[in-house]
Amino acid sequence: MLSINNAVILIVCFQKSKLFVTFTPKCDMINFEALFRISYGLYIVCSGDKNRGNGFISNSVFQVTAEPPKFAVCCNKNNYTAEIIKKCAAFSVSVLHTEASPGLFGRFGYRSGKDFNKLEGINVSYGEATGVPIVLNDSIAFLECNVIQTVDLGTHLLFIGELLHSGIMDETKDPITYMYYRQKRKGVAPKNAPTYVDKSKLETKIQAPAFKKYECTACGYIYDEAIESKKFIDLPPDWVCPSCGTAKEDFIEVAN
């Protein structure tokens, strides 16, 4: 193994007079803040049927071909929705707008469908082409796709779907982007998201004041130490958001 220009060169194999190598960057070459500059949208991806369905918040939905139109969806293998997509071989995508409710992100982004019916009480229609559930709440457009290929990415599965049906539900609102969600809504990606970055890898840019404020990344609830008279760090590990039940570890510090 060699090191050239701060890159590690790992020899993979030597076969038929050809040398195959792979270049792996050192950890100190990665500025994780740069990853937040990549553009994404925010969507609810669903699958299932009228008997049982589930969905999750995704910021990794993108079009991969034009004719015929195909879309890719990245889903953590631990997500309950991944099991359902594999079983049904179809999925829907609901495009969320900038004013989407915090509760929607909490329900589909931070809770598991294995022990909670995410679609209960939600405005849902069922696809004309696939029969999968389509979330209508705070959505401006939808897609229905049949899975034609699945790629194993290690921690995640990439489902490639051919578009069968799509429509516009609201032409007056703008689609929400991941940057808008981070900067304006102060949200972060849940641990199962392909874009999740461990907070310990990010640089601390400001010195903390005597009293801090922490925001729930799911519903926007603010824990204000000055009002609560107890440091956030001193709360028990199993403490959860009193508004939506999100875990303590998914709160982020916000400026006073």
Q: pLDDT tens across 173-188, in order?
A: 999 987 777 776 665 5
pLDDT value of residue 195:
52
CATH of the domain at 103: 2.30.110.10
Share of the chain above pLDDT 90, in %: 52
**What is the domain range of residue 25?**
2-30
219 vs 127, higher pLDDT: 127
Out of 65-69, 110-114, 150-154, 178-182, which region has the weakest mean confidence (pLDDT)? Answer: 178-182
| pTM score of the predicted model | 0.68
CA distance 49 to 66: 28
- Residue found by looking up tokens 């696939």 in the block: 130
pLDDT at 30: 72
Mean pLDDT in the chain? 82
Structural domain count of the chain: 3
Residues 145 and 67 in one domain: yes
For the segment 5-56, what is each residue's pLDDT rounded down to a tens digit?
Answer: 444 444 444 455 454 444 445 556 777 667 656 778 999 999 999 999 999 9
Contacts 24+ apart (CB under 8 A), 73-77: 73/45, 73/145, 73/158, 73/159, 73/161, 74/153, 74/156, 74/157, 74/158, 74/159, 74/194, 75/45, 75/156, 75/157, 75/159, 76/155, 76/156, 76/192, 76/193, 76/194, 77/155, 77/156, 77/157
101 shares a domain with 174: yes
161 shares a domain with 42: yes
For residue 237, give the CATH number of its domain: 2.20.28.10
> Do 110 and 156 share a structural domain?
yes
Contact of 118 with 55, CB cutoff 8 Å: yes
In 10 A of CB 122, how many CB atoms? 18
Q: Do 97 and 164 share a domain, yes or no? A: yes
Q: Are residues 44 and 144 in the same domain?
A: yes
Is 199 within a domain?
Answer: no
Residue 243 and residue 116 share a domain? no
Of 183, 212, 244, the position where a domain reaches its end is 183
